[in-house]
Amino acid sequence: MMRAALATILALCVLTGPAEAASDNGLSIRPAMGWSSWSFVRRQPTEAKIKAQADALVSSGLRDKGYVYVNLDDFYQKCDGNGFVVDSYGRWAVDAAKFPSGIKALADYVHGKGLKFGFYVTPGIAKNAVTADTPVEGTSYHARDIADTSQTHKNYNCKNMYRLDFSHPGAQAFIDSWARQMASWGVDYLKIDGVDASTVADVEAWDRALRKTGRPINFALSNNLPIAQAATWRRLANSWRTQGDVECYCGPGPNGSGFPLTDWAHVSSRFGSAASWQPYAGPGGWNDYDSLEIGNGDQVGLTADQRRSHLTHWAMAASPLLLGTDLTALTTVDLAMLRNERLIAVDQDGVAAQRVVNSGVKQVWRKREANGDYVVTLYNTGTSGRSTVSVTWAQVGFTGPAAVTNLWSGASEGTVASSYSATLRPGETRLIRARPDVLRAGPGVSPP
């Protein structure tokens, strides 16, 4: 049934790229929307902090606009001198000082708010599991049977993660047991971090394990995945991070935490990435350009113009919209940006835009939606000086006049004959919807 539903959605959408190769787990037919703990909470997540952000998603009205995931990222775990502390079956133990009620209780709280709960893991098996030779739940196997202790995995917290030997059936059984635990806790979204070309077997194992649980769990991969394996990521997962972190790690706190969260260089670098990865996005699988650093005004490290361009670009690319800011301190200006239904619709249309102008600081992107409308964005990506950015309708993909609507303001700009221009401040964007006249000619007229 899920496979049939996905096929129907694909048939309705106008896409460029190998859409037929998307994950068929029936999830993320549209890009995920919500909040993730890493950017603002960083290395100090707690039960109270996550609950506060969930509360704010509701009270701000963002939940009702579609921002529904509350994703707990790294540093929820307990560590000792040998790496991750583990439970009786070798899985990471949750730090009870940070999460005294446990993960299931937290997920239940999030669900009670009408939201969904996300969780985090990296590939491999912990050194402490191997040292203790913990059993693999439901099998006669043990950790030493399935670990390749000659190799370690990338891990950003406690380190000391050995690789799994997937030639042994106990390795899949171990991942299955971990996935079952997460499903029993009520996990709706799982981010597996530290993925690269050498971890395809791990991603395949987690994909199989999540499906076996019978619980719908949106499967996200991170970070800076190689584009050479793009078709593989698309087959196995619902989203994949195309670059490193959007955070600048230039704040005053430990490990660069605190404001600013990012800078324009980290955001604008996503333009080139989005152009390269564009063919691989579509219903069931999305290019993820990392957290959306909008909500707390200029202190995040971006001007208001840059923040609008940030949201515009993520929406044009049909990226997941996962906020990284402090939702308990949303500014009026930023909340209006995030609640703009026209911008949300651009993200949720299920079409990743193509770049048609790339000249210095001038960029233009376009996409054609299923109803025949074209959504077009003009950017000045520079940091100083105004720039006039132009595009012809022929470059966009049609000829003849079109009715133009400014999607940030909602204002009509009337009928525009054959090209469009905007003089933009540094970091500013102009986002428009162009409806070709042929579409307004009445029934029986096919779109170009």
- CA 294 from centroid of its chain's CA atoms: 14
Strand-strand pairing, 147-152 and 161-164: antiparallel
Residue 41: how many other CB atoms lie within 10 Å: 21
Strand partners, 121: 192
Secondary structure element (H or E) that encloses residue 172, with its range: helix 169-185
Residue 185: how many other CB atoms lie within 10 Å: 18
- CA 121 from centroid of its chain's CA atoms: 16
What is the C-alpha to C-alpha distance for residues 45 and 123, in angstroms, rounded to an integer? 21
Catalytic residues: 193, 245
- CA 227 from centroid of its chain's CA atoms: 16
In eight-state DSSP terms, residue 35 is E
What is the C-alpha to C-alpha distance for residues 211 and 302, in angstroms, rounded to an integer? 40
Residue 276: how many other CB atoms lie within 10 Å: 13
